[in-house]
Chains A and B, each alone.
Chain A
């Protein structure tokens, strides 16, 4: 335990600000991603003819690796905190948009007919039927985006965004094992904790009637892309 105490007294003062910066990067990108991508995903479901090409393009963009995505955008947007935030925001849009679209589309059309038959307006149907039923899938998209963002934010350190990636990269450069671990361990835990928290949120927002069903696990999982 004394090793841990030594470690903390040496690196704690570096870990905390880096962790804070990392959380800000992830939080700002994720929040703006949700604000933009959820409504956009809902709008897409209203225009079926446009949606499949758009979703196909979004899925393809999502396969572009993180470091590559940064490298492709640097010539356009430059480096620094704001460009990094922009890239993180753009990337967070993809999984959320995709899952919102898939989620809302997956609502049983007979339920929509029934709601309409009861005289509900399309807003009421959206708020009281479609969104609650698709919430688990939407949250799964948000969870995926959040996990990616933790990982992407480490890469963003390369273009001057700060965060835990700074510790990892300076640890590698200076062959300082402890500094490397001071970055890598909190990064790994942050991703696991965020994944767990959003997993719980997903369970909470799952309507009681759907809990017994196995919510198309594979749909949500096939998009796991790390890096």
Chain B
């Protein structure tokens, strides 16, 4: 194991996380927009996403392994599934939280529903949506590490190899970058959210 290995596996880890979260997040976002005018569906979709979220990572990966075989595919799908709930619930609640007065003002100014959505609702809800995305990303860094058990790549490979051969150096070579990735994402995105929330509030 050398440093370039760690670099490559970190990149692969990020690729898994970003691609998986992108598709899951997109699904959550679109679902939230679709269900917010249909309150009866909202509860069932949120409930279903919450059930998926509750299933332990290794169990979900095991089910997906049976359906998709060994390798990165089950990891991508698991990451996407886990990304749905945080983005769905935060987008939904963020949009619901927009003060109706703003919507009335937009309407009064002659804005179309599309303009109201893009220029009023989305910017106001954005910090909350971003918080959902942050949770999804940080979660998926963790799920991606256990993806190694179903043949996935990424930093979990080093941790697992280290565990099997009781080689602490290899184990830490995977664990430390993975922990740092999660922490940097969490802290960085939290700071960004706070800035955005302040900017929105001061407008």
Asked if A and B are interacting partners, one says: yes
List residues of chain A with CB under 8 Å of any chain B CB. 59-60, 63-69, 71-72, 74-75, 147, 150-151, 154-155, 158-159, 165, 168-169, 171-172, 177, 180-181, 183-185, 187-188, 191-192, 195, 217-218, 221-227
Q: Are B182 and A63 closer than 8 Å at their CB atoms?
A: yes
Q: Are A64 and B63 closer than 8 Å at their CB atoms?
A: no
Q: Are A227 and B55 closer than 8 Å at their CB atoms?
A: no
A25 to B183, CA, bound (A): 27
Q: Which residue from A150, A172, A195 sits with its C-beta under 8 Å from B65? A: A172
Which of these binds chain A: B33-41, B116-124, B131-139? B131-139
A181 to B132, CA, bound (A): 31
Q: Are B146 and A155 closer than 8 Å at their CB atoms?
A: yes
In the complex, the number of residue pairs spanning A and B with C-beta atoms less than 8 Å apart equals 145
**Which secondary structure dominates where chain B touches chain A?**
helix
Q: Identify 24 residue pairs between A and B in the complex whose beta-carbon atoms are under 8 Å apart, listed by A's number.
A: A60-B186, A64-B182, A64-B183, A65-B143, A65-B145, A66-B57, A67-B142, A71-B174, A72-B172, A151-B59, A168-B58, A172-B150, A177-B66, A180-B66, A181-B66, A183-B62, A184-B62, A185-B59, A188-B59, A188-B60, A192-B55, A223-B135, A226-B57, A227-B143
- Closest 10 interchain pairs by CB? A65-B142, A227-B142, A151-B56, A71-B175, A184-B62, A184-B59, A187-B59, A63-B186, A63-B182, A227-B57
B81-101 interface (Cβ within 8 A of A): 82, 85-86, 89-90, 93
A159 to B138, CA, bound (A): 24
A147 to B139, CA, bound (A): 14
B40-73 interface (Cβ within 8 A of A): 51, 53-60, 62-63, 65-66
